[in-house]
Amino acid sequence: MSTGSNIVAEWLRSLQLGRYAESFLDNGYDDLEICKQVGDPDLDAIGVFEPSHRSRLLHSVRALREEGAASV
Residue 6 makes contact with another protein by CB under 8 A: no
Residue 17 makes contact with another protein by CB under 8 A: no
Smallest separation, CB 47 to another protein (Å) = 12
Smallest separation, CB 66 to another protein (Å) = 19
Considering only 15, 45, 58, 72, the residue that binds another protein (CB under 8 A) is: 45
DSSP result, the chain: ---TT-HHHHHHHHTT-GGGHHHHHHTT--SHHHHTT--HHHHHHHT---HHHHHHHHHHHHHHHHHT-S--
Residue 30 makes contact with another protein by CB under 8 A: yes
